[in-house]
């Protein structure tokens, strides 16, 4: 198992995994993924095994303690020197799901965020995933103002 920052040459596989793991109304477009790779590649991590991309986690750095919908659409809202690492997507290829890889990516993100002296990590998730994120130390702040993809989300944070 290996972690590395994604590059634009990874765009096709990232886009494929994104579309396998998220519904069409939730998935980031190819253009948005490309822009994220251009604006904040140091916050876009892949997990690989035997040169196979298994999945990824990504998100901008922000001064917002919670995610707002504009952040999903506009990678230029990334501000490297702010306090909060966000998570826009955590996706594992269906062939590798339920094997602990998502948890490894979360632990990797937590370690990197601490090394970068972030105040914490912010994300949104659906209700059925609240308990999963709580296992890693995230706190449920309740229903999010985000309506990304027409869904109901929970704001989750972990503070260091």
- φ/ψ of residue 105, rounded to 5: -65, -40
Residue closest to 135 by CA, chosen among 103, 94, 92, 112: 103
Start-to-end C-alpha separation, the chain: 26
Please report, for the chain, the start and end positions of each structural domain, with discontinuous segments joined by +: 2-159
Q: Which fold has domain 2-159?
A: Aminopeptidase (3.40.630)
If residue 3 lies in a helix (H) or strand (E), which one and from where to where?
A: strand 2-5
pLDDT tens-digit readout, 108-134:
999 999 999 999 999 999 999 999 999
pLDDT tens-digit readout, 44-77:
999 999 989 999 999 999 999 999 999 999 999 9
């Amino acid at each position: 198992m290996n972690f590395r920052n994604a590059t634009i040459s990874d765009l096709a596989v990232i886009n494929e995994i994104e579309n396998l793991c998220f519904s069409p109304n939730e998935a980031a477009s190819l253009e948005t993924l490309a822009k994220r790779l251009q604006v904040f590649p140091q916050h876009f991590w892949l997990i690989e095994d035997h040169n196979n991309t298994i999945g990824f986690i990504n998100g901008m750095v922000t001064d917002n303690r919670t995610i707002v919908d504009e952040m999903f659409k506009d990678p230029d809202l990334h501000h490297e020197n702010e306090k909060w690492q966000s998570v826009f997507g955590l996706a594992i290829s269906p062939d590798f799901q339920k094997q602990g890889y998502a948890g490894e990516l979360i632990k990797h993100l937590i370690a990197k965020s601490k090394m970068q002296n972030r105040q914490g990590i912010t994300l949104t998730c659906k209700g059925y995933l609240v308990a999963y994120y709580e296992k890693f130390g995230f706190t449920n702040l309740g229903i999010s103002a985000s309506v990304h993809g027409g869904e109901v989300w929970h704001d989750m944070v972990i503070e260091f």
